[in-house]
Amino acid sequence: MNRSFFIKTYGCQMNEYDSEKLNDLLKFSGYEQTSNFENSDIAILNTCHIREKASEKLYSDLGRLSAFKENKKKIGKKMHIIVTGCVAQAEGDEILKRNKSVDFVFGPQNFHELPKILKKKKAKKIHNNFLYEEKFKSFSLSSEKNVSKLITIQEGCDKFCSFCVVPYTRGKEFSRTVEDIYAEARSLVENGAKEIIMLGQNVSSYKSSVIKSGKDQNVFLGELCRILSKIDGLKRIRYLTSHPIDINEELIDEHKQNTKLMPFLHLPIQSGSNKILKSMNRKHTREFYLGLIKKIKGKVKNMAFSSDFIVGYPGESDNDFEETLDLIEKVKFASSYSFKYSARPGTPSSIKKCIDDNIANKRLKKIQQTLNAQQREFNISFLSDTVEVLFSNKGKKNNQFVGRTPHLQPVHVFSKENIIGKILRVKIERLTSFSFHGNLIT
Ligand code: SF4
C-alpha cells in the first residue's frame, strides 16, 4: 500500500497555493492523501511566520504529532514529520532543537524537493535555499476543479518594512514568466475555473520580460491582466497583495478598461502617521497614499479599497493613532484587517521598545469598531441593488448557494438548479453581519 500524507496549512493564500502544489507533487510521486494527522505516514505542517500565535500553534501541533509518532513506532510503523513554510525558513535550527521528532525542515522555496528526499536513505535535515525557478518548474498543471483558483505569480519582497519577515523568509522579489502563468491559468479555466486570483507578497511589483517585435520588453501587472483576460471562459481576475508605490498608471488604466478585472483593490497602508510610516520603512507618506486613492477613484468610479493596519507599533503616540483614524475616515474602506503589533524575531523593529499593551488593546478595539462600521456602511449602500454574483459553493441550507459580488461581498441565494460556476444577477434584499441575502433575477 502507498504511504499516506496529510498537510496542515497555516496563514495566507500563498501558503494555500503552496500546499495545493505540494499535494499534487506527492500524489504524482505515488503518495496518498489522507484526512487527518493520526492516519498519516507523512505529516506536513506548512507554516506562517506573520503572527506570533501562528508559530506558537506550530509548536503545540508538533507536540501532538510527536505522541502519534511514538505510538506508531510501538506498533512497528514509521511516521515522518515535516515542517515547511516561513517558520521553517526562519527557525529551521530552532524547530529541530525544540522537537526531536521532526525529520525534515523545508523553506518555502524548497518543498518541491520533498518527494525526492523522502526516497533517499540519508539526507540533510534542513533545506532552505531560494530555489524559485526550480520550484515553479516542478509544478504540474492543477487538475482540481474549483470556480475560483489561486495562482502565485510573484514571490518575495525587496521592500524591507521594519516589522516584516517576508524579505527574510521568502527572499528577493521573483516573478514567474508570462508563459507559465498563462499556461496555468488556461488549464485552470479548462478545468472549470471562472475566476483567477493572482498572488504575490508584492504582486504589484510583477515584472517579467518577453520578446516583442524582436526585442526584450518588460510585462508588468496591468499587461499581465490584459493577457489573461483574453482566455475564453475566464470571467473574473483579481490580485493581491499590493504595495502603494508600485501601483502604476498602466494598472489603473487596465482597471478602467478591462471588465474582467474586478474593481476591488487591497492596498495595505499599516498606519496613517508619517512618523510611523517612516519608522516602518514603508517608503511612502500618508499624502502619497491619499493621492493615489484619489487618482484611482477619479479614473475607476466603482473601485473599492481594503487595507491592513498595525496598531501599537513602537513609538505610536495618541496623535499618530488619531492620524490613522483620520486617514480611515478620509478613504472609507470597504473592508480591512487590523492587528496589534507583535515583534517578529530578526526584524529591525523587534529591538524597539513596545508601547503599553493596554493602550495597544484599546486602540485595536477602536480601529476595529471604526473599520467594521465603514464596512457595514459600504454594504448597506448595496441594499435593494441588483449585482452580478459569481456562485462558487453550496450554502449550509438546502438549495442554498453562495457567491461573491465584484467587490468580494458574500451573497446567499436559494435555487433549485445548481448555479455553481455561473454569474447571475441578484437583487440584494438583506444584510446579516457582513454577508448579503438576495433573490435571483430571472
Ligand atoms: S511590502 Fe509587504 S511583504 Fe514586503 S516587507 Fe513590507 S509588509 Fe513585508
Consecutive sets of 10 residues in the chain, 442 residues long: mean pLDDT of each? Answer: 90 90 92 90 91 79 93 92 92 92 94 92 90 84 82 95 93 95 95 96 95 90 98 98 96 98 98 98 98 98 97 98 98 96 92 96 98 97 97 96 98 97 97 94 87
Q: What is the DSSP string of 66-122?
A: HHHHHHHHHTT---EEEEEEHHHHHHHHHHHHH-TT--EEE-TTTGGGHHHHHH-SS
Instruction: Tell whether ligand 1 has an atom less than 6 A from the beta carbon of residue 22.
Output: no
Distance between CA atoms of residues 247 and 252, nearest Å: 7
- Max CA separation in the chain (angstroms): 68
* In this structure, CATH architecture of domain 141-262: 2-Layer Sandwich (3.30)
Distance (angstroms) between ligand 1 centre and the Cα of 27 equals 33
Distance between CA atoms of residues 101 and 338, nearest Å: 36
pLDDT, position 12: 85
Distance (angstroms) between ligand 1 centre and the Cα of 164 equals 6
pLDDT, position 122: 87
β 423-432/435-440 pair status: antiparallel
Distance between CA atoms of residues 84 and 135, nearest Å: 14
pLDDT, position 314: 98
pLDDT, position 168: 92
Kindly give the number of the ligand 1 atom that is closest to the alpha carbon of 270: 7
Q: Do domains 270-381 and 386-440 have the same CATH topology?
A: no
Instruction: Tell whether ligand 1 has an atom less than 6 A from the beta carbon of residue 157.
Output: yes
Q: What are phi and psi of 73, to 5 degrees?
A: -60, -40
Instruction: Tell whether ligand 1 has an atom less than 6 A from the beta carbon of residue 167.
Output: yes
Instruction: Tell whether ligand 1 has an atom less than 6 A from the beta carbon of residue 203.
Output: no
Instruction: Tell whether ligand 1 has an atom less than 6 A from the beta carbon of residue 160.
Output: yes
Structure-block grid coordinates of residue 230: 483574453
Kindly give the number of the ligand 1 atom that is closest to the alpha carbon of 157: 4
Q: What are phi and psi of 87, to 5 degrees?
A: -65, -35
Q: What is the CATH number of domain 386-440?
A: 2.40.50.140
Check: CB of residue 266 under 8 Å from CB of residue 239. no
Vertex 318, ends 314 and 319: CA angle to 5°? 105
Coil, strand or helix at 210: strand
Instruction: Tell whether ligand 1 has an atom less than 6 A from the beta carbon of residue 161.
Output: yes
Give the pLDDT confidence of 199-224 residue by residue, as tens digits.
999 999 999 998 888 889 999 999 99
Superfamily of domain 4-132: Methylthiotransferase, N-terminal domain (3.40.50.12160)
Instruction: Tell whether ligand 1 has an atom less than 6 A from the beta carbon of residue 437.
Output: no
pLDDT, position 133: 85
Q: What is the DSSP string of 155-174?
A: E--S---TT--HHHHT-S-E
Structure-block grid coordinates of residue 68: 502519534
Distance (angstroms) between ligand 1 centre and the Cα of 302 equals 27
Distance (angstroms) between ligand 1 centre and the Cα of 125 equals 29
| Domain ranges across the chain | 4-132, 141-262, 270-381, 386-440
Which residue CA neighbors atom 1 of ligand 1 most closely? 159
Kindly give the number of the ligand 1 atom that is closest to the alpha carbon of 243: 1
Instruction: Tell whether ligand 1 has an atom less than 6 A from the beta carbon of residue 277.
Output: no
Residue type, position 152, single letter: T
Q: What is the CATH number of domain 270-381?
A: 3.30.750.200
Check: CB of residue 66 under 8 Å from CB of residue 101. yes
Helix spans in 140-283 (H): 166-169, 178-190, 221-228, 249-257, 274-279
